[in-house]
């Protein structure tokens, strides 16, 4: 079987590299390694941090993008997951650094290389939402409890860190599932979302609106077992990565690993990969050849 290369729109690092602390050379080396694993396009994702560090890391990633060569996964822009979230659904994020989602606060970190912003729509000024969309920035609802997703393009890691399903009132999850024009990220690593919830998403949501993401951490494909992330010590036990208190952080798999998980459950569809191209309007390059057990045989780029 052959597929397009992956577009990774939500990941915090791998190979021991954390985008919130990485150097330009770190980012370049990561983009070189990850292309060989079938990921052709990346949106490095920044977790909540101080404004100063966020601005610095945006510049680092932007400079790395300007220095890339053809043997690297193309850096398409930055996914800003941090700063504008709801403390009620903070997850692993440090709420001490949260800012109210409005135009003034966004201007503190604004850069033309930010292409995706995850925020809590229930806290956001409509002016900010309209402004982001006018700039061609994807607005994604995440770490939130809001139900009005009319000014959002997508939902960030659906089910995780959002108001969950209930039959008595609308929720972020139910709004994401029934809004036909909304794209929905999902971390299908077998840890973040149970099989029944995953099957529900695949059954209810239009197939062309589902986005596979890894949300992977610096420990992914590395020897790290303990590391600092989002201002906390994170512990990786070989299956999941959590804080000392047990709060689940991101995943520990790359997208090709997640495809193997889905394939074993007979839940993988090649369109899951193509959807990201439609979402971002990216022209494809290269291809992945898989064997019958969903091991990558060859990556062409």
- Phi then psi dihedrals of residue 117, to 5 deg: -125, 120
Mean pLDDT by 10 residues, the chain (301 residues): 97 98 98 98 98 98 98 98 97 97 98 98 98 98 98 98 91 97 98 97 97 98 97 96 96 98 96 97 97 96 94
The confidence score (pLDDT) of residue 32 equals: 98
Do 250 and 12 form a contact (C-beta atoms < 8 A)?
Answer: yes
Domain span at residue 258? 2-300
In this structure, are strands 138-141 and 154-155 parallel, antiparallel, or unpaired? parallel
Bridge partner residues of 199 (DSSP): none
- With a CB cutoff of 8 Å and minimum separation 6, the contacts of 52 are none
Describe the strand order of the beta sheet including 296-300 as a list of residue ranges: 2-3, 287-290, 296-300
3-state secondary structure of 32: helix
3-state secondary structure of 150: coil
Q: Does the predicted TM-score (pTM) go above 0.95?
A: yes
In this structure, are strands 2-3 and 287-290 parallel, antiparallel, or unpaired? antiparallel
The domain total for the chain is 1
In this predicted model, what pLDDT tens digit does every residue of 231-289 receive, in sequence order? Answer: 999 999 999 999 999 999 999 999 999 999 999 999 999 999 999 999 999 999 999 99
The confidence score (pLDDT) of residue 166 equals: 85
Tell me the CATH number at 72. 3.20.20.140
Q: Which two tokens stand for residue 97?
A: 């650094």
DSSP 138: E
Stretch (H or E) spanning 298:
strand 296-300
């Amino acid at each position: 079987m052959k597929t397009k290369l992956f577009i990774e729109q939500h990941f915090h690092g791998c190979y021991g590299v954390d985008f919130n602390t990485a150097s330009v050379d770190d980012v370049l080396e990561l983009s070189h390694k990850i292309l060989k694993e079938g990921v052709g396009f990346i949106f490095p994702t920044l977790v909540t941090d101080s404004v100063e560090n966020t601005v610095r890391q945006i510049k680092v990633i932007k400079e790395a993008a300007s220095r890339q060569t053809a043997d690297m996964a193309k850096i398409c822009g930055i996914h800003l997951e941090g700063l504008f979230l709801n403390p009620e659904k903070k997850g692993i994020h440090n709420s001490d650094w949260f800012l109210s989602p409005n135009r003034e606060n966004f201007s503190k970190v604004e850069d033309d290389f930010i292409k995706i912003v995850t925020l809590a729509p229930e806290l956001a000024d409509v002016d900010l939402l309209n402004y982001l969309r006018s700039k061609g920035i994807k607005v994604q609802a995440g770490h939130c409890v809001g139900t009005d997703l009319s000014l959002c393009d997508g939902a960030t890691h659906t089910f995780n860190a959002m108001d969950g399903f209930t039959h008595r009132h609308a929720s972020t999850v139910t709004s994401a599932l029934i809004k036909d024009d909304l794209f929905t990220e999902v971390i299908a690593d077998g840890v973040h979302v149970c099989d029944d919830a995953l099957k529900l998403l695949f059954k209810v949501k239009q197939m062309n609106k589902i986005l596979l993401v890894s949300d992977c951490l610096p420990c992914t494909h590395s020897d790290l077992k303990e590391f600092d992330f989002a201002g906390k010590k994170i512990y990786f036990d070989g299956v999941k990565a959590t804080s000392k208190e047990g709060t689940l952080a991101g995943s520990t798999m790359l997208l090709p690993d997640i495809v193997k998980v889905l394939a074993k459950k007979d839940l993988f569809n090649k369109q899951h990969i193509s959807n990201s191209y439609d979402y971002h309007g990216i022209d494809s390059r290269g291809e992945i050849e898989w064997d019958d057990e969903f091991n990558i045989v060859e990556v062409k780029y």
